[in-house]
Structure 1
Amino acid sequence: MFAWLPLLAVFMQPAFGVYNCPPEYNRTPDNSDLTVDCGATVITLEINLCTAQWAGFNTTDLALNGNHNKQECLGRADTSVIPPVVRYYLPVNHSQENPCRQSLQIVDEAPDPTGPFSSFASVQSVIITSFIETPRSDQGIISYSTDLYYHFSCRYPLEYLLNNTQIIASSVSVATNDNNGTFINTLKMSVYNDSSYKYPLIVPPTGLQLRAGVYAEVKAVNLTGNFYVLLDHCFSTPTAYNVTHTEQHNFFIGCSKDDRTTIISNGISKVARFNFEAFRFLQHRAQSMSSIYLHCILRLCEPNKCQEILAGCNSKRKRSVTPFGQEDKDSATVSAGPLYTAAEEPHAQTYSTAARNGLNETGLIVGVVLGSVVAMLLVLSGWFAVKKFYWGPSD
């Protein structure tokens, strides 16, 4: 009696055979039919076209966040892969500027107790949530058709660690892959030789001269959304970055900074800049050059949040720890190095020694000459005295 039902189901999917779908996809859709790639600028979504067709829908029936009348929110079929898929591209930017509109929220989270931000009070992440669905039937009371609903989210932490960038290199990108989205590849650390920030710093073979100016810049390149770069803590170490480092020189921590460090801009745009004078680590006193590795813990924050954090520096009340000097959920670390500085004027001492040696040699030569002359005079005077004694006057 019901033998015709499977045949009817096949006829209800008129385009199913067109895509040469394997028989294992002759089923209703499930979670495995949706894949999500959380990119830094674009979220890419893929839906199994075979199971969607089996459920009675085609590519034009599925739309991002219910926007069925917007072409940019519809997917595109890709039959070059097996199984064929419907692919969607969702820009990662503010929901008000996105035609397909997604939910974007910033949440506070506890940091990994074993990670580099373990001393932070909390870290923040951006969570983007969206869905893809088929048109809903609004007629009648019941329906025998299957509605499809695909829900997904992408989580992007706002705290990062960049480390061990060589001072002569232009940038570094270091990240751990935890199957989540990351903005780490948009962060770049560079060093320059003057305040114009146009010419990369080139360290000579003998190292930088002590007190030479070093200009550091941390920049978010092609960062989507409206986030600024805020440097929490910048410091240096004599060797590459290690979370257990005990020997370090702090350029600044929050509002507190070293006297020879100048903060040019911080937390007001996608670029943060500061400069300092080249120095030597005392542990390198026996070496001809001293190596310096630069590191900055930074966070990405919304403009209003950045200003709120920076406002703590303007408070007249003394505070032991500044708000953004503390490591928390929003911070990351960038590093650069090694930067080599030269030894302290080794040639001056050598020249002085040579000069003193020259004077000693000259004194020795003059002494020998004078001694010879005196000896000759003594011999001559002795000869004349003997002659006069034995021979007497010539008359």
Structure 2
Amino acid sequence: MALSLCLPLLAVLLQPAASLYNCSSQYERTPDNSDIIVECGTHTITLEINLCTAQWAGFNASNLALNGNHNNTQCQGSVDDSVDPPIIRYQLPVNNSQDNPCRQSLQIVDEAPDPSGPFSSFSSIQSVIITGYVDTPRSDVGLISYSTDLYYHFSCRYPLEYLINNTEIVASSVSVATSENNGTFIDTLKMGVYNDSDHIYPLVVPSTGLELRTRIFVEVKAVNLTGNFHLLLDHCFATPTPYNMSQSEQHNFFTGCSVEDRTTMTNNGLSTVARFNFEAFRFVQHRDRAKSSIYLHCILRLCEPTNCQVLLSSCNARRKRSLSPFGEETNDSATVSVGPLYTAREDVPNAAAYSNNVAPGKDDVDVAGLVVGMVFGSAAAALLVLGGWFVLKKYYWVGGRSQAFE
């Protein structure tokens, strides 16, 4: 009798877990890969799990937790029943630091670059792969079980090598790519051009172009990026036209450890900001133009602070690869654009009208002055001769009279 009363009571207690949310009958199935959506953001990874299929399997939101942390409420998801079907949403930062209570696995891997991509000159590149899971408490009792355990695995892959090219005065960016659970930090990378060493005042190019040898200050920075990475410029260069893979005309500011004479590197690989400056120049192919256009491009990587230091310290010992970038590019590399800057053509002096290189106008003045001088000189000489004649005449006249009185 007691057993017959307990069974209906147990059925009543179990019923709310199975019908807590109104779900369509199409979700009365075993959970599969389509029940999890992963967004690999630049600062936060977001997971959305179908609550209906988990509910059908006999679990609710409180049974599922990030990376096995079932005793930590911070690692449990939040239910959003405003969408169809209802979901359990999880958010975790893109790092594995101690202050992340639901720590996930973060691994840096070396990869071979695409031989046809912009990083084809590199020997290897790196990517960071972040992995984790959401699961239910495991059934450890007994040898076999007829109830299912849920296990949702996710991963996000972020390339650490990027190409920023065609940089404009005000840097632009592209949307973050989230297809196939891939993430990118490209929308956090910006390049700016300034006219002061404090990088406060954006460079304003006059309508006639910048004067040659004007000092231009360039800043590349990562905005709202996780603190796990520093920014390292591998290779920065300039082209007279927008960047393309087949371009041969380019001026290198620096490549790896080798820095051009008129370029100064002030900060690189030490934080999320890298800075260098150079003197304005003009491309020789623009000699027939009043202004020369300059497009700035940088290949950069995001690296762990210690790895950045290893790469930078190798500059002191590395000779054979001193003209090689620190790393390589792949198809996963993204681009942002800056340019063009304009520099003014140096004024070319007019050809002189005379062989003595004196301007024609000046010769006209000198000739006129010479003529006037000759006229006045002749008049003065005539007056001098006339005056002398009168003096001599007076002398002889006075001498003749003196002899008469004797």
Instruction: Give your verdict on TM over 0.5.
Output: yes
Alignment partners' CA distance in 2, 1:352 and 1:265: 53
The reply on whether 1:194 has 2:196 as its aligned counterpart is yes
Alignment partners' CA distance in 2, 1:325 and 1:243: 19
Summarize the Cα distance change of 1:62–1:340 in structure 2 as closer, same or farther, 3 Å threshold: same
Please list the CA deviations of residues 148-206 of structure 1 after superposition, one character each: whole Å capped at 9, or x if unmatched: 1111111111111222121x214544776653111111111111102111111111111
8 Å CA contact 2:49, 2:88 repeated in 1: yes
Residue 91 of structure 1, aligned match among 81, 90, 93: 93
8 Å CA contact 2:315, 2:322 repeated in 1: no
Partner-residue secondary structure (3-state), 2:190: strand
8 Å CA contact 2:186, 2:334 repeated in 1: no
Deviation at 1:12, TM superposition (A): 4.6
Residue 293 of structure 2, aligned match among 288, 291, 294: 291
Alignment partners' CA distance in 2, 1:178 and 1:321: 37
- 1:391 aligns with none
Alignment partners' CA distance in 2, 1:234 and 1:175: 23
Unaligned runs of 5+ in 1: 1-7, 373-395
Letter in 2 for 1:139: V
Larger mean CA deviation between 330-339 and 128-137 belongs to 330-339
The reply on whether 1:275 has 2:277 as its aligned counterpart is yes
Residue 315 of structure 2, aligned match among 310, 313, 316: 313
Residue 34 of structure 1, aligned match among 33, 36, 42: 36
Summarize the Cα distance change of 1:226–1:320 in structure 2 as closer, same or farther, 3 Å threshold: closer
Partner-residue secondary structure (3-state), 2:338: strand
Deviation at 1:325, TM superposition (A): 4.6
The reply on whether 1:358 has 2:367 as its aligned counterpart is no
Write out aligned runs for 1:56-95 (5 A).
Answer: 56-95=58-97
Partner-residue secondary structure (3-state), 2:307: helix
8 Å CA contact 1:95, 1:104 repeated in 2: no
- 2:218 aligns with 216
Larger mean CA deviation between 326-335 and 250-259 belongs to 326-335
- 2:25 aligns with 23
Summarize the Cα distance change of 1:27–1:13 in structure 2 as closer, same or farther, 3 Å threshold: farther
Letter in 2 for 1:218: V
Alignment partners' CA distance in 2, 1:215 and 1:57: 58
Write out aligned runs for 1:229-308 (5 A).
Answer: 229-308=231-310
TM-score (norm 1): 0.83
8 Å CA contact 1:121, 1:328 repeated in 2: no
Partner-residue secondary structure (3-state), 1:155: strand
- 1:119 aligns with 121
Partner-residue secondary structure (3-state), 2:170: coil
Letter in 1 for 2:88: V
8 Å CA contact 1:162, 1:332 repeated in 2: yes
8 Å CA contact 1:157, 1:182 repeated in 2: yes
- What number of residue pairs does the alignment pair up? 363
Deviation at 1:318, TM superposition (A): 3.9
Partner-residue secondary structure (3-state), 1:162: strand
- 2:156 aligns with 154
Letter in 1 for 2:361: G
Please list the CA deviations of residues 59-80 of structure 1 after superposition, one character each: whole Å capped at 9, or x if unmatched: 1000001111111110111111
Summarize the Cα distance change of 1:9–1:21 in structure 2 as closer, same or farther, 3 Å threshold: farther
Summarize the Cα distance change of 1:352–1:153 in structure 2 as closer, same or farther, 3 Å threshold: farther
The reply on whether 1:341 has 2:332 as its aligned counterpart is no
8 Å CA contact 1:163, 1:172 repeated in 2: no
Please list the CA deviations of residues 311-344 of structure 1 after superposition, one character each: whole Å capped at 9, or x if unmatched: 12212x7435356456456987665311100110
- 2:396 aligns with none
Alignment partners' CA distance in 2, 1:52 and 1:153: 20
Please list the CA deviations of residues 330-376 of structure 1 after superposition, one character each: whole Å capped at 9, or x if unmatched: 98766531110011035x649999x824235546877999999xxxx
Summarize the Cα distance change of 1:324–1:304 in structure 2 as closer, same or farther, 3 Å threshold: farther
TM-score (norm 2): 0.81
8 Å CA contact 1:295, 1:333 repeated in 2: no
Please list the CA deviations of residues 242-289 of structure 1 after superposition, one character each: whole Å capped at 9, or x if unmatched: 111101111111111111111111111111111110001001101000
- 1:227 aligns with 229
Summarize the Cα distance change of 1:63–1:9 in structure 2 as closer, same or farther, 3 Å threshold: same
Alignment partners' CA distance in 1, 2:53 and 2:306: 46
Summarize the Cα distance change of 1:332–1:39 in structure 2 as closer, same or farther, 3 Å threshold: closer
